[in-house]
Chains A and B, each alone.
Chain A
Amino acid sequence: MSTLEIKDLHASVNGTEILKGLSLSVPKGEVHAMMGPNGSGKSTLAKVMAGHQDYEVGSGDVFLDGKSLLEMDVDERSREGLFLAFQYPAEIPGVSNANFLRAARQARLPDGEEIDAVAFYQEMYDKMAKLGIDKKFTGRSVNEGFSGGEKKRNEVLQMMMLEPKYAVLDETDSGLDIDALKIVAQGVNAMRSEERGFLVITHYQRLLEHIVPDHVHVLNEGRIIRSGPKELALELEEKGYDWLKEGELVKS
């Protein structure tokens, strides 16, 4: 039961089917990498799991510890323990990072219970320090005017503050220089535990040098065409995706 399980998922956007029967199981305690060429459906998978309204699920389901995610509202999925680190996080003028995180934490408390503000700030500052984020950040508007690296760090900070059961990281390496990449990877690695599963979506092998996965899956045209150990990522780096795509053709 302690898995994030995607079962034969079909999803489309604007009438075009992108995910064509995707199945995958990410147990707690493991890091799974999802790789694939552009347009293979990686980001679609992330958005569908989070519940974006533009994506329509045709059939299949996603289960979080046995509960159907697709039956839940967007905010409910988060409170149930799913976290999506966005490839392109939204900018929200006028809403400070501190107020945003506080509202997200408050939403997890029972009605009528107020968050302990002092403890909250202390925890936030500690976690910011781990990610090398300046204190002034708390007063800045969410992602507004942030560099690519700052936005990604902010995603990881949110993950650290919300302590999800399963985290889906969508192209978290894009837009990061090597130093920022290392910091972000450290943040993720620090959160690896027996109590948490990760699905790391990435186009390049580079991120996986820093966040070493237990399993690697290759997505192509909306389905997983190959799964293997971490070495698969290296092989892909060397041979490119066409190697697998060709193999796929031969097989079929």
Chain B
Amino acid sequence: MLLEEKPSVRSFLDSPEEAGEEFPDWYKNSRRDAWKSFQEIDWPKRSDEAWRFANLKKLSYEDLYDAKEVACNDIDRLVASALSLKENAGQIFFVNDRVVASPSLNEEFSKKGVIFKPLSQALIEDGDLVQNYFMTQNSRLGSAKYAALHRARLRNGFFFYVPKGVSLTVPVEVFHWVSGNSSSIFPHSLIVAGAGSSAMVAEYVTSIDDEISFCCGVSDIHGEENSELIYLRAQNLSEKAQSIHLLSTRAGLNSKLKTFNLDLGCEWVRNESVSRLVGEGASSEILAVSVPEKSQEFDMRTLQLHEQPNTSSNLLYKNTLYDDSKTIFAGMIVVEDEARHTDAYQTCRNLLMSDTCEANSMPGLEIKADQVKCSHGASTSPVSEDELFYLQTRGIKEPAARQLLTFGFVKEAVDCLENDFLEEVILGKLERRFKKIGVK
């Protein structure tokens, strides 16, 4: 048997486990404070502007428990079943928020001071460093309650720290699997790119079985001056799962950050992405692709926050909707008083593959500075008849032509990554996805 369940059950609405003695005091206090906050903050309501259009009924809490520890004796088989990178600079594997195989990091990089390890270990070994960056970004898009829940209940995740001037030419890779009925996980990803460093991270969140599960994750990315970082998160949980993911990036002076969210699985997804441009000349690229089918609902809220002059941000979200699926995109660009010469773009495109799917787009701008270039746009349409006709006139049959066009539609966002390693993984996952959905 691949996985063996061990007992220990705690509803995630019960008070969480205390952090062990070995953890730093600040962290123990942080968990306690977070639990207090969680209890004080109201649950989101559909009438809240930040939750407009959201179907909160899809989110049920009563029967969710902290995921149990499972023994995993065939990690190779799990890894083989996942589409992952051909090359990596290091890997960490989690099942139900527990490390299930020895983490690795290329010696060349560990010698240069790169830290890539499970968060539980980093909290103990590099506590002060972690403290500088841990949960320092406020939740701004409606999920303060879930941010508190995450902070109070998190069990693990990873800490990736790239020191000043170090370049990793190959990405590090993090695998999360969730297993068991009603399991909830709280993976935390903390990434710090030091001054002048460059790195790439690929993180996958996947179900082992097709049970109900809940994932409440936080990814915080800090890019110091002149750093370059690319972060991919690919979510393919079971069709019965629910997921909330809070992503934040903080781009320092002349840094370049790129994030890519790929959402395929789950019955219900809420993604919040806050991109702060806090240093002059910083740039952020915020990319996402989702391919919902059946009755999946993906709710995406974004904020591009320009705090300093000469900063740029570019957001491109692409959704291909099948059957009765639903997407919600609410994007906001805020240009603060100081942030002159901002360049900010926001585009959400929806491709409708059925008459019964529903795509909601709510783009927004708030500009307080002068001399700013900003644009936002949203489009929603079925496959273009002109494009389809053109392909068919070359002998391509209609189903194959539709597949080419739908794949091309999402590929445009993938191409923006300009990174062969990550593009290959994403395209592989998308190919598998479209194949599974088939021609509808």
Interface residues of A (CB under 8 A from B): 50-53, 73-75, 77-79, 84, 86, 89-95, 99-100, 103-104, 106-108, 141, 158, 162
CB of B408 closer than 8 Å to a CB of A: yes
Kindly list chain B residues whose C-beta atoms are within 8 Å of the C-beta of A73. 392, 398
> Do residues A74 and B404 form an inter-chain contact, with CB atoms below 8 A?
no
Q: In the docked arrangement, what's the CA distance between A1 and B262, Å?
A: 55
Q: Ordered nearest first, which 5 A-B pairs have the shortest CB separation?
A: A94-B408, A78-B395, A95-B408, A90-B390, A94-B411
Asked if B126 CB lies within 8 Å of chain A CBs, one says no
Are A104 and B390 touching (Cβ within 8 A)?
no
Which residue of A77, A79, A86 contacts B390 across the interface (Cβ within 8 Å)?
Answer: A86
Given A92-B408, A107-B395, 20 further pairs, Cβ under 8 A: A51-B393, A52-B389, A53-B385, A74-B392, A75-B393, A75-B397, A90-B389, A93-B412, A94-B411, A94-B415, A95-B405, A100-B394, A103-B391, A103-B400, A106-B400, A107-B400, A108-B395, A141-B412, A162-B394, A162-B395
Q: Supply 14 A–B pairs (Cβ within 8 Å), ascending by A.
A: A74-B393, A75-B393, A75-B395, A75-B398, A78-B394, A92-B408, A95-B404, A95-B408, A100-B394, A100-B404, A103-B396, A103-B404, A104-B396, A107-B394
Q: Look across to chain A and name the residue whose beta carbon is closest to the beta carbon of B411.
A: A94
Give bound CA distance, A74 to B394, whole Å: 9
Listed in ascending order, the chain B residues whose CB lies under 8 Å from chain A are: 384-387, 389-398, 400-401, 404-405, 407-412, 415
Choose one: B396, B407, B410, B415; the contact of A75 (CB below 8 Å): B396
Instruction: Tell me whether chain A's interface is mostly helix, strand or loop, or mixed.
Output: mixed
Q: Which residue of B lies closest to A159 (CB)?
A: B394
Number of A-B contacts (CB under 8 A): 82
B396 partner residues in chain A, CB cutoff 8 A? 75, 103-104, 107
Instruction: Please indicate the chain B residues that have their CB under 8 angstroms from the CB of A50 in the complex.
Output: 389, 393
Closest A residue to B408 by CB, please name it: A94
The answer to whether B395 touches A95, judged by C-beta atoms less than 8 angstroms apart, is no
A93 CB contacts on chain B under 8 angstroms = 408-409, 412
Knowing A53-B385, A90-B389, the reply to whether A141 touches B394 (Cβ < 8 A) is no
Contact A92 B387 (CB under 8 A): yes
A73 to B389, CA, bound (A): 11
In the complex, which residues of chain B have a beta carbon less than 8 angstroms from the beta carbon of A52?
Answer: 389
Instruction: Tell whether, in the assembled complex, residue B400 and residue A84 are in contact, meaning their CB atoms are under 8 Å apart.
Output: no
Measured in the bound complex, the distance between the Cα atoms of B410 and A79 in whole Å is 28
Report the Cα distance A93→B379, complex, angstroms: 15
A78-B392 in contact (CB<8A): yes
The reply to whether A90 and B395 form a contact with Cβ atoms under 8 Å apart is: no
Residues of A within 8 A of B408 (CB): 92-95, 141
* CB neighbours of B412 from chain A (8 A): 93-94, 141
Whether A95 touches B407, Cβ cut-off 8 Å, given contacts A75-B398, A90-B386, A107-B400, is yes
